[in-house]
Chain A
Amino acid sequence: MSNLKPLELFSLIIIISIASFVGIGFNVALNISGQDTYLAIIIAFLLGIPSILGFILIFNYEKELSLNFKLQKLFGEVLGTIINYILIIVAFIIGITYMYNLINFTLNHYLDNTPIFIIGLIYLLLIVYTNFKGLTTISRMTFILLIINFVLFMFPLFNLMPKTNIDNLKPLLTNNFNNILKSAFNIVLLTINNIFILLIIPQKRFKNTKKINKYIILAYIISIIILFFISFITLNILGPRLSLFYQDPEYIVLKQVNLFNFLNRIENIISMQWLNGLYISITMIIYYISNSIKKDNDKKIIPVLAGTIVFILSMVIFKNNTIFYNFIMNILPQIRLIAYILFIIICITILIKKKKNNDKSLF
């Protein structure tokens, strides 16, 4: 059934890439490269190119299969299943991190008197319900949310641009170049590499796949540009010290938005874009997990179970912010590295198979 549009994949890539930057990727990068983080994003653009090409390679391989079946075809049933389960565990961990980030952000800036359990439960119901509706609904909703997010991004961008102070980025390159490189690699691991969950969608589900590769590359470029502007504006306005001082500097900077001299105090409306992004990302992660496990697509119990596990574990593992920040700074990049290495292996295996079959087309 080909009912998805390439534009919906484009929307999913952008939303999923950006979702983990706010609150996770930016904090990690800022702690490593400080005021040179915007430079790290430029380098991340180059470092992410192999990732996006690898995504296209896997996405175009056996177009009618989803990732779990592609793995079995590439590595055999046993090894393929093992790799599949490793990726499911990684997806679970990402889901747990996102869930906590989503709940924590809501708790900090929207509903600071509401019990964390209630906030999480409402999100869980929404995520599971969206999963019940299926991929067509998720992708169409993502496209609509991307338009909303785009508006919520552009207005503050133009409003905050004149308030930037380039002096805040001086002195240039005070950080060791290795730190900037490490920060760039972490940005790739924590943001761009998230799109691996989209490989659960077989390419045949999309109609008009002629230009789909161009859409993927365009989505990647736009994602990086957005990441660059988020870090550039935040660092320029708050400066490196306050950016490192606050828990959510991207949110604090939005407090300075003043549209047409009468629309101010709108940071909660603008920051909705990040909640939208995290919600779509967790929904896709649950979709990825349930579709990687289940054989029978009609069973609804797996999204419920996966969602509940993600929600409960996010409450159990991250008992406080300190545990969460230690986790995203030290452990999460290493876990993501496992997925990254696995994808390199998958890409190499596909290339070897193509060579064996005398298939000279790269994608």
Chain B
Amino acid sequence: MAKKILVVLLILLLAGCYNYNELNDLAIAVGLGIDKDENGYVVSLEIVNDNKDSTIYSVNGDTLDEAFSNLYSICPKKIFLSHLEVIIYGNNIDNIKDTLDFWARKKDIREDVLVFLSDKKAKDILKATTNSKTIKAFNIKDVATSTYTNLSATKLLTLNELLDTYLNPNKEIVIPIITLINKNLKIKNMAILKDTKVINYLDNTDSVNYNILTNNTKELIINTKNLSTNLNNVSTNIKVKDDLNVYINIKAKGTLIDVKKNLNLNNKEVIAELNNEIEKDIKDNINNTLNKITNSNSDIIGILDNYYKNKYKYYLNIKDDWYNNYFNKLNYHISVNVNLYDKGKSLKVIK
């Protein structure tokens, strides 16, 4: 008898019918925009209808949680955030800190979702009609990935990385910016944050240099007076010394894309000169970017973190007064070593 009761009980419990959610009853969210107006937060959610179509729902709320709850007043389905691809902060969000705990605590948001800042309203970015994919979140992710992979002019900031940098007292956040140009989505480089507030921006070259300095490049294109080259295998090693000297050693391999002057590319000395030309260009650009970062007084490269990891005793002495006394007194020593190992298909220059 007991066995029969057990079997009946198991059938009831294990049938999988309890508390189930039909796929048709789920609102699968792929994109999320956050803005602020006089009524508090505005949450815009892109919900996938099918593989070609999506709907944007926008609601207000005093808090982020309230705005999320209010979504149910206009969205008839259960909101499912596990497939969320992008989170976009609008230009009117003055401090991203207030939202971080919400993302970190929400069980169904994955940690690899990409985070962007926009110079427009996030709602407008999500509602923009683009030329390519009609599901905007997928389009944003593809454009960002393409910009990062082929140009190294942005970074793919995941929620995990954002949280880790926020929790790290020795480093400041850099966040990619997304914008609309002629109805087309464009990744417009990056913003420098200090204490989670935007204080400055990195332009295209600065963004590439930032990626070089943080050892986060895929491929990048360098244009100098005499040539264009595609650099890959870029590796950067930063060593810090107790006397505030910072040694930056950059190594890269390059492929010639275009030569602008008639040169004998079979001559070793010519190649060495071209290598020098690229090295000087990178060095100058990196110096400019470092100046910009120093002027912003925001340690986005993580020099203090480098001291923490490699010169712990010295770190203990400087950490409390880092921005007041030390950060702007750092002496950067940059060495660049480029090897143009591939000249492309042709051995001669057509000029």
Contacts and interface: CB of A to CB of B under 8 A. Distances in A.
Interface of A: 108, 112-114, 118, 121-122, 125, 129, 167, 170-171, 174, 238-239, 241-242, 245, 252, 255-256
B52 interface: no
A239 B309 contact: no
B309 A114 contact: no
Is the contact region of chain A dominated by helix, strand, or loop, or is it mixed? helix
Contacts of B167: 241-242, 245
B309 A125 contact: no
B6 interface: yes
B309 A171 contact: yes
**Contact count band on B:** 20 to 34
Nearest to B13: A122
Interface string B1-35: 00000100110011000110100000000000000
A170 B163 CA distance: 19
For the complex of A and B, the 10 pairs showing the least CB-CB separation, nearest first, are A170-B309, A171-B312, A241-B167, A113-B19, A242-B164, A122-B13, A171-B309, A239-B164, A114-B19, A241-B164
Contact of B18 (A112, A118, A125, A242): A118
B124 interface: no
A113 B108 CA distance: 12
B309 A245 contact: no
A245 B9 contact: no
Contacts of A171: 308-310, 312
A125 B13 CA distance: 11
Interface in B93-115: 104, 107, 110-112
Given A245-B163, A256-B112, A114 B18 contact: yes
A246 B308 CA distance: 23
Contacts of B312: 171, 174
B111 A112 contact: no
B163 A121 contact: no
B160 interface: yes
B160 A125 contact: no
Contacts of A121: 13
Contacts of B111: 252, 255
Contacts of B160: 238, 242, 252
A48 to B, nearest CB: 30
Contacts of B107: 108, 112
Contacts of A252: 111, 160
24 contacts: A112-B107, A113-B21, A114-B19, A118-B13, A122-B13, A125-B10, A125-B13, A129-B6, A170-B308, A171-B308, A171-B309, A174-B312, A239-B164, A241-B164, A241-B167, A241-B168, A242-B163, A242-B164, A242-B167, A245-B163, A245-B167, A252-B111, A252-B160, A255-B110
